[in-house]
Chain A
Amino acid sequence: QVQLQESGPGLVKPSETLSLICTISGGSISTYWWTWIRQVPGKGLEWIGYNYNSGTTKYNPSLQSRVTISVDNSKNQFSLSLSSVTAADTAVYYCARPVAGTNDAFDIWGQGTMVTVSS
């Protein structure tokens, strides 16, 4: 059974870069649209973007200039990098995998990791 696990710093200073890793266990990283989604505590969900097959990427235009999602096939991991963070980026960050054959309905999620942006 495929499982996802996020890891990374829980505290990031304003203007710095938020970096998270999602480790995939129980399955291969190949041919899926590996996705990051975030949720401000007590608020709704925001799709950040995806990386497909270590090549095609698509990002939320609201974050496009600051975000990079990369895939490391050798480590069965994918990552999120979000630069120039502000307090508005404080959220729970989830990595997710969509239903096989789709890129847009997410049936496998990590447990989420809380990232706080504060000096």
Chain B
Amino acid sequence: DIQMTQSPSSLSASIGDRVTITCRASQNIITYLNWYQQKPGKAPRLLIYTTSRLASDVPSRVSGTRSGTEFTLTITNLQPEDFATYYCQQSYNSPFTFGPGTQVDIK
């Protein structure tokens, strides 16, 4: 199975901040990387798929990029609704695997 790692595991930020979360795969996954947001007691919500494609109804201040084998989720102008846990997921090979998550909370 492809192992996914995320950093940091948690971070604190303020409204209006720019936040970046990094994800790495244990092998080359080309651009097959998706990002989800999850709030307590709720199902995950797809934010980004195939590295940089914005899912429906996701604001443009959310973006995804890739540099080599490192993938980054960036959220600019952090809003109250952005405080949540974020997961990356590789879709290059089944079993599709998720990262352990990054919790973003209020500073």
Contacts and interface: CB of A to CB of B under 8 A. Distances in A.
Contact of A44 (B43, B46, B100): B100
A112 B98 CA distance: 17
Interface residues of B, number: 24
B55 interface: yes
A109 B94 CA distance: 19
Nearest to B49: A105
Interface residues of A, number: 21
B43 A94 contact: yes
B101 A47 contact: no
Contact of B46 (A45, A47, A61, A107): A107
Interface in A64-112: 94, 96, 99, 102-107, 109-112
B52 interface: no
Nearest to B6: A44
B85 to A, nearest CB: 10
**For the complex, would chain B's binding face be called helix, strand, loop or mixed by DSSP majority?**
loop
A15 interface: no
Contacts of B44: 45, 94, 106, 109
B40 to A, nearest CB: 10
B22 interface: no
Given A45-B44, A45-B89, A107 B95 contact: no
Contacts of B91: 102-105
Contacts of B45: 109
B43 A46 contact: no
B49 A99 contact: yes
A66 B56 CA distance: 35
Interface string A10-48: 000000000000000000000000000000000011110
B14 interface: no
Nearest to A110: B43
Given A102-B49, A105-B34, A107-B56, A47 B96 contact: yes
